[in-house]
Amino acid sequence: MSDNERVKGGIPPWLATFVDVARQLDQAGVTYIVIGVGGANFHTLNPADTFETDDLDLLLPLDSRNLVRAWDACDKLGFHVEADQPRRVVAERCTTRAARPIELAVDLTLEVAAFEFDDLWAERRTFLVDKVEIPVAKLSQIIRSKAAANRERDRRFLAAHADRLRQMLDGDEI
């Protein structure tokens, strides 16, 4: 695959879909922060050297109105959102998925291991992509959360990429 196929308008394909989502979330007044492997990708030193992921995880505060705005924003972009009663989803801290065929899915989650939303929000990094500000958790917090979650896939990811993640931290303490 040539560089021109991988990058449209200077934005890698994994990011192009999300920039549209981020723009719509911003217009809808949705508060969120990018976490997970997708969040780690924002911290890569070389944008062409990202980690593979099937989804982008967004952490939202425990606010049913904010959640409904997020669902509506995704729906406006043609994403199928498996939505339930927002108060129940918030009370039970469920994750909802917004998906379109053959594209990166967006998981709207209300909890993450080791942190509350406000902890991550207070120390977030903001990345400007195609004139859209995207709030992303600090890499050290993403790593700590994956370690605390202790899921098999997180353990494999951390072990397989330990050296690279250490290099990416660039002084940011784990």
Per-residue pLDDT of the chain (174 residues; tens, 9 = 90+): 333 333 345 687 778 889 999 999 999 999 999 999 999 999 986 777 889 998 999 999 999 999 999 999 999 999 999 888 999 999 999 999 999 988 889 999 999 999 999 999 999 999 999 999 999 999 999 999 999 999 999 999 999 999 999 999 865 654
Contact 80, 96 (CB under 8 A): no
Q: Is 157 exposed, middle or buried (0-12, 13-18, 19+ CB in 10 A)?
A: buried
Write down all domains in the chain, each with its CATH number in brackets.
Answer: 3-166 (3.30.460)
> What crossing angle do the helices spanning 152-160 and 162-169 adopt, rounded to 10°?
70
Q: Which amino acid is located at 119 in the chain?
A: D
